[in-house]
Amino acid sequence: MRRWRPSDAEAHRSLWAERDVRALRRIGANGRPTVEEMRERLVANPLGAEPGLGLLPIELRDIGEFIGYCGLVVGQASYDEPEIAFELAQRAHGRGYATEAGRAVVEAAASTGRRRLWATVREWNTASFRVLEKLGFDRSGRVDLDPERGDSIWMTRELDPPTV
């Protein structure tokens, strides 16, 4: 994982184009956001508005190809107990990249003194459930009902305190 570059805009937008039709944020019928709008967002706010939060691009070590992102966001949670978020290009699914990036993010979150992380995942997203389970997340019992897009399942993970 690394910092965002303006050149990531096209690949980042392609993730939006691949999203399931039930996803909340997709490329609209009007073609927005455009590549240029994505580039402007990356330049204006490359890591997120809050310290210790943000999404970082994931790239393949050997060839530097952008394949997705992972990080922490407030989302529907809080600054002290943020949500982990990740998304990978379909060509990168099933290879362990999301799990590897997720582990790095969980370890970084624990090193900040955070005690718990959250994740929300649509009931139909079995691949994300598998990643979250590998990362030690459990279902919290909270479900946000959404008959149109699929219910959001809240998962959580307690973090180990940092070792000194």
User: What digits encode the pLDDT tens for the residues 15-36?
Assistant: 887 876 666 677 777 888 888 9
Question: Which amino acid, residue 2?
Answer: R
64 versus 96: which is more confidently predicted?
96
For residue 60 the two structure tokens come to: 């393949």
pLDDT band at 157 (very low <50, low <70, confident <90, very high): very high
pLDDT for res 18: 81
- Residues near 66 by beta carbon (within 8 Å), at least 6 away in sequence: 8, 11, 12, 57, 58, 59, 89
What are the Cα distances from residue 12, in Å, to 34, 35, 74, 87, 104? Answer: 11, 8, 20, 10, 21
42 pLDDT above the threshold of 60: yes
What pLDDT sits at residue 27?
74
Is residue 125 over pLDDT 80?
Answer: yes
Measured CA to CA, the distance from residue 66 to residue 1 in angstroms comes to 10
> What residues contact 59, with CB distance under 8 A and at least 6 apart?
1, 2, 65, 66, 67
Position with higher pLDDT, 31 vs 61: 61
Q: What is the pTM of this model?
A: 0.85
At residue 149, the pLDDT reads 87
Q: Which residues make Cβ contacts (< 8 Å) with residue 50, sequence separation at least 6?
A: 74, 79
- Looking at the chain, how many residues does it have? 164
| 3-state SS, residue 154 | strand
